[in-house]
Amino acid sequence: MFKVIQWFIFLLANAVAIPIVIGSIFDMDTTAIMQLMQRTFFIVGIAGFLQGLIGHKLPIVDGPAGLWVSTFSVFAISVGTTGQAGVEAFRLLEAAMILTGAFLMAFGLFKVSGKVIGLFTPLVTGVFLTLLTFQLSGTFLEGMLGLSSQATQINSGQFAIAMVTFSSVLILSIFFTGWMKSYAVLLGISLGWLLFVIFFGAGDMLASQAPIMQMPEMFAWGVPKFEWSVVPIAILTAFILLSNIVAALSATSDVIDGHSNFSQTQMNRGSFTLGINHGISGMFSGVAVVPLASTAGFIQLTGQTKKGPFIWASALLMIVSFFPVVIAFLAMIPSPIANAALLATFVQLMGLGLRNLFAEPLYERRMTIITVSMLLGGGLMFIPPESFAHLPETVKQVVSNGLLVGTIIAVILEKIWKTSK
């Protein structure tokens, strides 16, 4: 039971922050954010459940994709966030997610997805995982420091408690054995939440304003608006997301089996099921999900390698989404605490990335590919997205994504720079 709860908390931590981010981008009120959170919980729960049963069949959390968060931001700037413009932006985004899902299903059905595996050598996987930790560590640190669109100054008290949570998770997972190691994330979050309540209070009791039971609303943003302009965005996004699937399968199978061990069939099934999940995301007006490579860090941290507890936790999150009063309570987990626990799992993920990078000796070829990919990909992460505003949408989607650019450079150099035997 405790294994299920720990998986549930990890699913929750990956699902709770994005609705707040999207809410701030589109100036949503508290009620709209809570409803988006309800739909996100449902999408994340059913996505993990379907992947575990009919998809790649590994215990990998599907969470809101960072790529889609940036797409939401682009639409907010180009279309608008208020009044009819905001409604139109949401309807276009629903259409884009459904179309992306159709392409992902086609890639899986016609076995295109499985052919991508050969591009992800240990070097490329190492570059992807390392850049991923760089990209998201800043977001987690901002959350630990109490920074947001409303709060622009560091809250030292909240950061201190977040660091206690972060340290607790690492200490329990590294220096303890048995049940304390297995439930390190759950225990760390519980301790951090307790300290947060003692020093900062429990926050607003949103549960008192929420209905007890309510089904997640379909097409809450209106009927999808299909335009030709979203087709190239959908195709490009579908191709980009294939790299996320490979990285997640590679990292997770590496932790479970001791080496990267997954098949083209798993990749094709994972792509097809991700397409279904994208369609569900569009239908239920949420942020589309993607398999999260960070799950590998959670598994390595806690030793939770069995699929059963993950399936039950996904089903539990899906059921909980029908009870807004429960969601309102769970949403009260302080952001610094959730971010601290997630950052702790990234310690293990970065270790996996470095292990892949140094799997072979650093001769000049490998060292050059790694450094060029990391420098250009990592450097792009520090350039404001507005700098690319004048570029076409599809080009902007690529060049503004340092993780994607760094990975593409590594793939190209790995393929064209051959070594002599």
| DSSP conformation letters of 253-315 | HHHHHSS----HHHHHHHHHHHHHHHHHHHHTTSPPEEE-TTHHHHHHHH----HHHHHHHHH
Helix (H) or strand (E) holding 16: helix 2-25
Instruction: At 105, list the tokens.
Output: 């299903």
What is the crossing angle of helices 402-416 and 230-257, to 10°? Answer: 70
Instruction: At 224, list the tokens.
Output: 């999808």
Q: CA–CA separation, 242 vs 11, rounded Å?
A: 21
Q: Quick one: which of 246, 408, 317 has its CA closest to 40?
A: 317
266: burial class by Cβ within 10 Å (0-12, 13-18, 19+)?
buried
More confident residue, 331 or 204: 331
- Sign of the torsion angle spanned by Cα atoms 4, 5, 11, 14: negative
More confident residue, 197 or 147: 197
Cα Dmax for the chain: 70
Instruction: At 50, list the tokens.
Output: 């379907």
- 262's CB contacts (< 8 A; 6+ apart) are 56, 58, 117, 249, 250, 253
pLDDT at 88 over 80: yes
Report pLDDT digits (tens) over 219-242.
999 999 998 878 888 888 898 889
215: burial class by Cβ within 10 Å (0-12, 13-18, 19+)?
exposed
Q: CA–CA separation, 344 vs 301, rounded Å?
A: 8
Beta strands of 107-236 (E only): which ranges?
A: none
Distance of CA 141 to the CA centre of its chain: 16
pLDDT for position 169: 92
DSSP code for 115: G
Neighbours of 316 (CB within 10 A): 18
Using the structure block, give the residue that is written with the tokens 């952001």: 335
pLDDT for position 371: 96
pLDDT for position 54: 95
At 206, the pLDDT band (50, 70, 90 cuts) reads low
Q: CA–CA separation, 410 vs 356, rounded Å?
A: 13
190 to each of 142, 161, 187, how far by Cα in Å?
A: 21, 12, 5
Most confident of the following: 39-48, 69-78, 138-147, 198-207: 39-48
Neighbours of 280 (CB within 10 A): 22
More confident residue, 258 or 396: 258
Q: CA–CA separation, 50 vs 393, rounded Å?
A: 32
At 311, the pLDDT band (50, 70, 90 cuts) reads very high
Q: Any bridge partners for residue 63, and if so which?
A: 290
Instruction: At 147, list the tokens.
Output: 């920074």
pLDDT for position 249: 95
Q: CA–CA separation, 343 vs 67, rounded Å?
A: 19
Report pLDDT digits (tens) over 11-42.
988 887 788 778 767 878 778 888 999 999 99
205 phi/psi in degrees, rounded to 5:
-85, 80
